[in-house]
Amino acid sequence: IAGITQAPTSQILAAGRRMTLRCTQDMRHNAMYWYRQDLGLGLRLIHYSNTAGTTGKGEVPDGYSVSRANTDDFPLTLASAVPSQTSVYFCASSEVVTDTQYFGPGTRLTVL
Amino acid sequence: DQQVKQNSPSLSVQEGRISILNCDYTNSMFDYFLWYKKYPAEGPTFLISISSIKDKNEDGRFTVFLNKSAKHLSLHIVPSQPGDSAVYFCAASGNTGNQFYFGTGTSLTVIP
């Protein structure tokens, strides 16, 4: 059982470019989340989805968009990357929205 | 404003001794709390949880204590082992919310 997979593992991106981080879970969890981890700031929620077809904004949504076309996939898109979006991005899922979350291995993104 | 705080960025403990990691929160509506453990280059993994109807939850070497009046929780690891060396995050959620709020993490080093 893979759990949650994220791709790519790492990426260096020029500022202004568009980038989509992929996240797939095989646990049939209803809820999925995107976090960014920055030194001294912990994990901050970017966007979430309670169930397929719905999305919501977290603490730091600006500059990011998400979609949830099906249960398994929850891609995160940076329409025009900026250096402040350099971070480690974690995708997570949970059976329901307030249940224990299970995290993917992360994507390390550097925007130059 | 950080609703969940871990005021100790790092902690060093001798192998076999007790590790105590602390977490404070500001929102009295939080009623479910979790601890996650994170190794470098991996996603956080769930460790232990506690709901506000309890003041203690134990799982093997790990015990979480909740003091609702002080808005404080702590994670005790006894006895500490070198493999426990990791970053520990506490997280909290309320029954009316859609998200968990994470602390900034405490890096635990267990010295052999």
Confidence of residue B32 (pLDDT cuts 50, 70, 90): very high
* pLDDT 10s digits, B33-72: 999 999 998 999 999 999 999 999 999 999 999 999 999 9
* pLDDT 10s digits, A6-30: 999 999 999 999 999 999 999 999 9
User: Given this model, what pLDDT does residue A99 score?
Assistant: 80
Q: Do B93 and A98 touch (CB under 8 A)?
A: yes
User: Given this model, what pLDDT does residue B94 score?
Assistant: 83
Q: Do A42 and B102 touch (CB under 8 A)?
A: yes
Q: Is the pLDDT reported for residue B1 higher than 60? A: yes
Distance CA B24, CA B82 (A): 26
The pair of three-digit structure tokens given for residue B15, joined into one six-digit string: 């192998």
Chosen from A29, A98, A99 to mutate, greatest number of chain B CBs within 10 A: A98
Q: What percentage of chain A exceeds 90 in pLDDT?
A: 88
User: Given this model, what pLDDT does residue B97 score?
Assistant: 62
Residue A14, min C-alpha distance to chain B (Å): 23
Mean pLDDT of A26-42: 92
Q: Is the pLDDT reported for residue A42 higher than 90? A: no
Q: Is the pLDDT reported for residue B77 higher than 80? A: yes
Mean pLDDT of A68-81: 97
Confidence of residue B110 (pLDDT cuts 50, 70, 90): very high
Q: Work out the burial of residue A8: count CB atoms within 10 Å of its CB; fewer than 13 is exposed, 13-18 middle, 19 or more buried.
A: exposed
Contact A10, A19 (CB under 8 A): no
User: Given this model, what pLDDT does residue A72 score?
Assistant: 96
Q: Do B103 and A56 touch (CB under 8 A)?
A: no
Nearest CB partner across the interface for B43, out of A48, A58, A90: A90
Nearest CB partner across the interface for B99, out of A4, A45, A100: A45
Distance CA A89, CA A98 (A): 20
β-pair type (B106-111, B10-14): parallel
